[in-house]
Chain A
């Protein structure tokens, strides 16, 4: 256990080395909320307006989830760099088991996501409303599971790609597919409507429905917005399954691949 804590401490310290990058990212997130969302509010069609009420309120929880995603994904870049520069030999020489090392990396990625996301979530509470204590605990638990799953996904990609370019390309594909095929930016009903009209591939509609980013965003919305969308256990289940699959597959891939010569 103490070995895992050491790994978490190492990764969290590393995270704050990117403070300038973090300031840039957070300012972009806030610009999205306080400029883009406010302007989009004026452009919504009456049907969508009837469904979601206000785009600012709709988007704020989604923004917290995108912030969580971007920051939890950062661990993959470091793991990829360690692999390319062969720092992983040093990591393997540390007095801890491979499983402790792998679990520590996944956990720390998740922790970093939570740290970064906290001010965005707080902004969301301030402008929408504060949840009850139980709702808050559920939100934090689900978001932590999501952050772990994202961190795991990122590590799995990082150890499976041999160069930075391949990692960045794979990251781009995952990033944009998961971001845009989700209910982070627009209601799920819109994507489903496009699918029914044959204007959007059904496979992407299904992806949007089971996407953990949709699940987490809609869960926060169900607590903070009145009446939209209704709370669903299925969305939490999606996040739990995603997290379990990627946490364990990343730990397994990390152990197997970094031991290769």
Chain B
């Protein structure tokens, strides 16, 4: 389903919408952003798995394993991020075929940032899932979050345009991990001319901070909320 969505977004929406825009090479710009959007939504899925485990009693089994809570949450965020990456890997390869990568070193840095981004999103999903403990509420919150995080980012449009459209949107987009990941991916593939990324270090630091916050904050929250049931 996600693959169909991805391909139709590139082959239909991306192709036609790029004709509508005044930004040069918008098609390539959009394809790069689409890869990050897909990675984000694939990494979010770990939270839904947690509800399924709670429903089927797998949670109790996991708690009985000879691993600490910290190891458990760390393993889950990295596992969730890694599987999202494996899942989205072919789609990223497809987008690379469309965009092309000029500098292998930059691309490796961007790939590393995408790994951290993916782990961070998984950590965020796990943290929210264990705080809420209600699959319905989680579902809605993730829907709303997805709508806001993706649209208030540079995944679909450059930051300067977002800022020109609405300074509040621009401000929010400047502190958005999806913006960091999308800009770094574009920088890594060599299409940064469109995004005018002055220093790739800032988005990289932003992604590291995002990953660190949700992994370590996730450990604390997981530790406190994991026991005592109350799953809905």
Contact = CB atoms under 8 A, between A and B. Distances in A.
Interface of A: 20-21, 23-25, 27-28, 30-32, 35-36, 38-46, 48, 168-169, 171-173, 176-177, 180-181, 185-187, 190-191, 193-194, 199-200, 204
Given A31-B148, A35-B152, A173-B4, A194 B16 contact: yes
A24 B144 CA distance: 6
A25 B143 contact: yes
Contacts of A176: 4-5, 8-9, 12
Given A20-B137, A23-B140, A36-B156, A48 B20 contact: yes
Interface stretch (B76-84, B96-104, B121-129, B161-169): B161-169
B148 A191 contact: no
Contacts of A171: 1
5 contacts: A21-B140, A31-B147, A42-B161, A43-B22, A48-B20
Contacts of A48: 20
A178 B142 CA distance: 26
Interface of B: 1, 4-5, 8-9, 12-13, 15-17, 19-23, 26, 136-137, 139-140, 142-144, 146-148, 151-152, 156-157, 161-162, 164-166, 169
A31, A32, A38: residue with the most chain B Cβ atoms closer than 10 Å? A31
Contacts of B21: 40, 43-45
Given A24-B140, A39-B165, A190 B16 contact: yes
Contacts of A24: 139-140, 142-144, 147
A27 to B, nearest CB: 5
A45 B22 contact: yes
Contacts of B4: 169, 172-173, 176
B151 A31 contact: yes
Contacts of B8: 176-177, 180
A183 to B, nearest CB: 10
A32 B22 contact: no
A202 to B, nearest CB: 14
Contacts of B157: 39-40, 42-43
A46 B140 contact: no
Contacts of B15: 194, 199-200
B162 to A, nearest CB: 5
Secondary structure dominating the interface of A: helix
A216 B13 CA distance: 19
A35 B16 contact: no
Contact of A44 (B20, B139, B144): B20
B10 to A, nearest CB: 10
Contact of A168 (B1, B156, B164): B1
Given A23-B144, A27-B143, A38-B169, 4 more contacts: A44-B22, A176-B8, A186-B16, A190-B16
B202 to A, nearest CB: 22
Given A43-B161, A185-B17, A27 B144 contact: yes
Contacts of B12: 176-177, 180-181, 204
Given A42-B165, A172-B4, A180-B8, A27 B17 contact: no
Nearest to B152: A35
A28 B146 contact: yes
For the complex of A and B, the 6 pairs showing the least CB-CB separation, nearest first, are A24-B143, A180-B12, A176-B8, A31-B147, A28-B147, A172-B4
Nearest to B13: A180
A22 to B, nearest CB: 9
Contact of B22 (A20, A46, A168): A46
A24, A31, A43, A169: residue with the most chain B Cβ atoms closer than 10 Å? A43
B89 to A, nearest CB: 20
A159 B157 CA distance: 40
A32 B13 CA distance: 15
Contacts of A186: 16-17, 19-20
A41 B20 CA distance: 10
Contacts of A44: 20-22
A200 B14 CA distance: 12
B190 to A, nearest CB: 22
Given A35-B169, A168-B1, A42 B19 contact: no
A168 B1 CA distance: 7
Nearest to B135: A20
